[in-house]
Amino acid sequence: MSESPVRLVQAHANHGAAWVNGDLRPVHFPRRIERPLPGDLVHIDDAGTLTAVVERRNLFGRGDGRGRFRPIAANLDRSVIVIASEPAPSRDLLHRYLAAALIRGIEPLIVLNKSDLPRPRQAPFTELQALGELGFEHVEARCLPEPDVAALQSRIGCGITLLAGQSGVGKSSLLNALVPDIEAQTGRLSRVTGKGTHTTTTATAHRHGDDAWLIDTPGVWEYGLWKMDPETLQRGFPEFSKHAAGCRFRDCRHRSEPGCAVVAAVESGALPGFRHQAWLRLLAEQERFGCQGVR
């Protein structure tokens, strides 16, 4: 076993790449060890075979269409949720990404990319201020006509940052603007793994200065949550909790139960209605997973 663990940057079915003493090395995954993920700390032997995965701090992923959890990356400090006016996000995309990060113990940061384009007068763009008041911060960025990523750069100087968001919002463009030696890194990685460099097809961790990592992910059209119980889902709506303590029923789902303090807070204007609407839709979606049964 190698003396100190090394950071895994990319994982395919039975092989990947790790950052070893300032260079990228191929890693073989034997079948007896559960496949590691980008962001994992791993031990490898002299032949480059994985021997152990260090226990993870957290694990980020997405639900497949049937509500099963599909892991994407491990040991994240923050999830940068990239949205843009083009392609415009679907109704609950931002709420799902925020919930997923919070549920998994990862700090979310919303990035409004393509700030060179006019900001649409529709949700979620019109909700960003109210989200900020709830503690969900956002920063603006752009990659064209010339990059302006200073606000984002100042937030990601240490730890492991995941770039999440719909296909085409500009995650890889942001990565290119943020990491000065990105071309050298992707070129070396492609030689190590034998995979092409031009489209984002797999989650990949890139070294960002001395002390930080940026994980680019392949975009999705729709980001889905996985099957979970309502208590877990409510961790994705932390602004509800101080009100929920006052609900008449301890297992109140904040729908139409009598004595619901969350609904009362929405009616009095203490909680924004759009968050409650999103909660109701995500709760209904969970019940559909339940009916189908996750096979």
The number of helices, as runs of H, and strands, as runs of E, in the chain is 9, 13
String of contacts with Zn ion for each residue 242-271, x by CB under 5 A: -----x----x-x-----x-x---------
CA atoms of 46 and 281, how far apart (whole Å): 51
Question: Using the rule CB under 6 A, is 202 a contact of ligand GTP?
Answer: no
> Given the complex with Mg ion, which of 172 and 286 has the nearer CB atom?
172
Task: Quote the least distance from Cβ 84 to Mg ion, whole Å.
Answer: 12
Closest to 49 measured CA to CA, from 80, 77, 27? 27
**Closer to ligand GTP by Cβ: residue 101 or 178:** 178
Residue from 165, 124, 140 nearest 272 by CA? 124
From the list ligand GTP, Zn ion, Mg ion, none, partner contacted by residue 252 (C-beta under 5 to 8 A by kind): Zn ion
Which letter does DSSP use for residue 58 in this model?
A: -
Question: Per CB under 5 A, does 58 bind Mg ion?
Answer: no
User: Of the two residues 169 and 261, which places its CB atom closer to ligand GTP in the complex?
Assistant: 169
Give the dihedral sign, CA 48/49/50/52: negative
CA angle 289, 293, 294 (to 5 degrees): 85
User: Does 79 contact ligand GTP by CB under 6 A?
Assistant: no
d(CA 106, CA 126): 25
Under the binding rule (CB under 6 A), the answer on residue 89 touching ligand GTP is no
CA distance 263 to 240: 10
Binding mask 113-152 toward ligand GTP (x if CB under 6 A, else -) reads xx-xx------------------------xxx--------
Within positions 161 to 200, which residues make up the interface with Mg ion, using CB under 5 A? 171-172, 200
Residues that bind Zn ion (CB under 5 A): 247, 252, 254, 260, 262
